[in-house]
Amino acid sequence: MAKEISDRLAAVVQALPLTPASRVLEIGCGPGAAARAVADRLVEGHVLAIDRSAKAIEQARSGSAALIATGRLSFRQAAVETFTLEPGEEPFDVAFAVRVGVLDGRHSRDFPVALDRLRAAVRPGGRLFVDGGDPLREIPLRAR
């Protein structure tokens, strides 16, 4: 794993149930350190990392050119509350978020909307993880 990643983020990435072909959605990617670490663990899978901040996405892209070129990593400016799959885009196997208020309880008013968006973007049987466990806790994505 890259030196740029903190011990905390490294523990989060290690705890994710990934396969070499996983499709992973990172919510609130910031400058992209965790997304790059996940992409490093994939062989034929893909990480899409989203963030509501244009500046964060710009930083993430500028620090990720080599992994973006492999096709294993991409970034998109989007908030989880408005995120939708693009036409033809495959759903994700795993979604995760670190320090994202709408998912970790700090901004719970928008949680139902965010969860509905993630249910639509994660394949049936897929899983959602947020920080706050040891190191992660799972949020069930079961349909209503």
Q: What are phi and psi of 87, to 5 degrees?
A: -55, 130
Q: Which helix (H) or strand (E) holds 125?
A: strand 122-131
| Residue 67, in any domain of the structure | yes
pLDDT in tens, the chain (144 residues): 445 799 999 999 999 999 999 999 999 999 999 999 999 999 999 999 999 999 999 999 999 999 999 999 999 999 999 999 999 999 999 999 999 999 988 888 999 999 999 999 999 999 999 998 889 999 999 754
| Residue 14, in any domain of the structure | yes
| Residue 98, in any domain of the structure | yes
Q: Which helix (H) or strand (E) holds 137?
A: strand 136-139
Domain harbouring 65, CATH code: 3.40.50.150
Domain count, the chain: 1
121, 132, 35: which is closest to 80 by C-alpha? 121
